[in-house]
Chains A and B, each alone.
Chain A
Amino acid sequence: EPEVTQTPSHQVTQMGQEVILRCVPISNHLYFYWYRQILGQKVEFLVSFYNNEISEKSEIFDDQFSVERPDGSNFTLKIRSTKLEDSAMYFCATSTDTQYFGPGTRLTVL
């Protein structure tokens, strides 16, 4: 069964550093999403992406965040200058209709 994959599984970084989280969607999926889950809290929507454009973004998704599909397969989330409060699990989801999630990247900002 096709799966969404994410790399790395765990990223530790210093505050102020840039991180790139990667997602490989299920091959025929056209809609892409990033969500995050701070430990013990609810899942929060960050951004949705379709046809090489952002469809919607939340207030969390400020200028420090960006997304792209650099090679037509990977879907990446970049955080330019990480803050302590960016520490969370980041989930990629892809869909044609139902959203299927990757296993997540645990980001720890020190």
Chain B
Amino acid sequence: AQSVAQPEDQVNVAEGNPLTVKCTYSVSGNPYLFWYVQYPNRGLQFLLKYITGDNLVKGSYGFEAEFNKSQTSFHLKKPSALVSDSALYFCAVRDIYNAGNNRKLIWGLGTSLAVNP
């Protein structure tokens, strides 16, 4: 079965320090991986995705993620955290079992990131 795991419910980091939000996946074949962010009382905002190509993917707001096939991971990173980065972060993988582009996303449980001033 396809699945995504975010092993940490919460990550705390000091402003200016690097941050990592972890994600591992279980998918047969080549995964399409995504990160979304959810600010309080807001929708899900797309941050970045990995489809193919370079393992290091750059996205919005200075975030990047590294695809590691051997470790089946897709950790989200940022070199220097901002207080405004505090939010809920979701990792997702696209379902590979349906044809075409109309494939649902399978979600992790989310990780709450708190950046302390």
How many cross-chain pairs have Cβ atoms below 8 Å apart between A and B? 58
Q: Mark contacts of A40-64 with chain B using CB atoms, 8 A cut-off: 1 yes-contact digit, 0 otherwise.
A: 0111110011100001101000000
Q: How far is the CB of A5 from chain B (nearest CB, A)?
A: 10
Stretch of A14-22, A67-75, A77-85, A100-108 that contacts chain B:
A100-108
Assess the A31–B101 pair: CB atoms within 8 A: yes
Assess the A33–B110 pair: CB atoms within 8 A: no
Given the interface pairs A42-B109, A42-B110, A101-B36, the reply to whether A48 lies near B43 with Cβ below 8 Å is no
Tell me whether chain A's interface is mostly helix, strand or loop, or mixed: strand
Residue B69, interface by CB 8 Å: no
In the complex, chain A residues whose CB is within 8 Å of the CB of B107: 42-44
Q: How many residues of A contact B (CB 8 A)?
A: 28
- Knowing that A58-B104, A99-B34, A104-B42 are A-B contacts, what are 18 other residue pairs whose CB atoms are under 8 Å apart, sorted by A's residue number? A41-B109, A42-B108, A42-B109, A42-B110, A43-B90, A43-B107, A43-B110, A48-B102, A48-B104, A50-B102, A97-B101, A98-B34, A99-B105, A100-B46, A101-B43, A101-B44, A102-B43, A103-B43
Q: Which 9 A-B pairs have the closest CB atoms?
A: A103-B43, A101-B44, A43-B107, A45-B104, A31-B102, A50-B102, A55-B102, A101-B43, A42-B109
